[in-house]
């Protein structure tokens, strides 16, 4: 009979996300994991096999809680312009409340590991596509409503927005203050405004 786990896997993953998010993959040691998660090394490896598998599960957990919140916001939007502003506002607010300036776990992972680990690169790429798809749907709603320019396709605008979101997170992690971040958002959103009718 399988031995019952002596820990709450969700709580453990939350701690793992926090640790990997702060330190990154390579700088996190096996001992860091044991100390932070509060379980024995044998229990850790019985459950996740190795550090990489735990990192993958942590990244998936982050995606479920963070990316899915953005997807839900976009999916249920009744005002595309307001929703986009809310998405950017949320990022600025999270950054202001983040005393450790961790940035975005997914963006950090892309910078650290994409191109070096195929499985992790695929997970990051899948996450990015989900966000881009949601942004494209949002832009299309805004174009139909007349809120956004039709000068580019929803997909092209979505890629621009995704790039701006990633850049905003990097700027926040680099220590940019709220005024700098707000300027980035305002210029980004102004690019979607329809041209005035002459």
- Mean pLDDT within 81-109: 87
Whether the predicted pLDDT of 1 surpasses 50: no
The model's confidence at residue 134, banded by pLDDT at 50, 70 and 90, is: very high
* Polymer length in residues for the chain: 198
Residue 87: closest CA among 60, 108, 69, 102:
69
Mean pLDDT of 130-153: 95
pLDDT higher at 6 or 138: 138
Selected residue with higher pLDDT from 36 and 101: 36
Q: How confident is the model at residue 95 (pLDDT cuts 50, 70, 90)?
A: confident
pLDDT of residue 2: 42
Question: For 101-125, what is the mean pLDDT?
Answer: 87
Q: What is the pLDDT of residue 114?
A: 78
User: pLDDT averaged over the chain?
Assistant: 89
The Cβ of residue 2 has, within 10 Å, a number of other Cβ atoms equal to 4
What average pLDDT does the segment 95-113 reach? 83
User: What is the band of 7 on the pLDDT scale with cuts at 50, 70, 90?
Assistant: low
User: What are the tens digits of pLDDT across the range 50-70?
Assistant: 999 999 999 999 988 888 888
Q: Provide the pLDDT for residue 6.
A: 54
Predicted TM-score of the model (pTM): 0.85
Residue 99 has pLDDT above 80, yes or no: no
The mean per-residue pLDDT over the stretch 136-147 comes to: 95
Kindly report each contact of residues 61-69 with a partner whose C-beta sits within 8 Å and lies 24 or more positions away, as own/partner: 61/10, 61/13, 61/14, 61/16, 61/17, 62/17, 62/21, 62/105, 62/106, 63/106, 63/123, 63/127, 66/104, 66/105, 66/106, 67/106, 67/127, 67/130, 67/131
């Amino acid at each position: 009979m399988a031995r019952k786990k002596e820990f709450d896997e969700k709580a453990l993953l939350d701690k793992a996300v926090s640790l990997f998010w702060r330190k990154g993959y390579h700088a996190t040691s096996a001992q860091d994991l044991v100390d932070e998660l509060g379980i024995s090394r044998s229990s850790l490896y019985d459950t996740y096999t190795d550090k990489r598998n735990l990192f993958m599960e942590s990244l998936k957990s982050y995606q479920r809680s963070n990316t899915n919140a953005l997807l839900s916001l976009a999916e249920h939007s009744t005002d595309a312009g307001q929703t986009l502003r809310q998405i950017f506002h949320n990022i600025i607010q999270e950054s202001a409340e983040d005393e450790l300036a961790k940035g975005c776990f997914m963006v950090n992972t892309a910078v650290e590991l994409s191109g070096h680990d195929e499985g992790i690169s695929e997970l990051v790429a899948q996450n990015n596509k989900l966000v881009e798809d949601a942004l494209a749907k949002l832009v299309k709603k805004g174009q139909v409503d007349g809120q956004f320019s039709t000068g580019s396709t929803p997909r092209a605008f979505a890629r621009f927005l995704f790039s701006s979101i990633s850049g905003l997170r990097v700027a926040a992690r680099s220590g940019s203050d709220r005024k700098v971040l707000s300027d980035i958002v305002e210029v980004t959103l102004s690019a979607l405004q329809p041209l005035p009718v002459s």
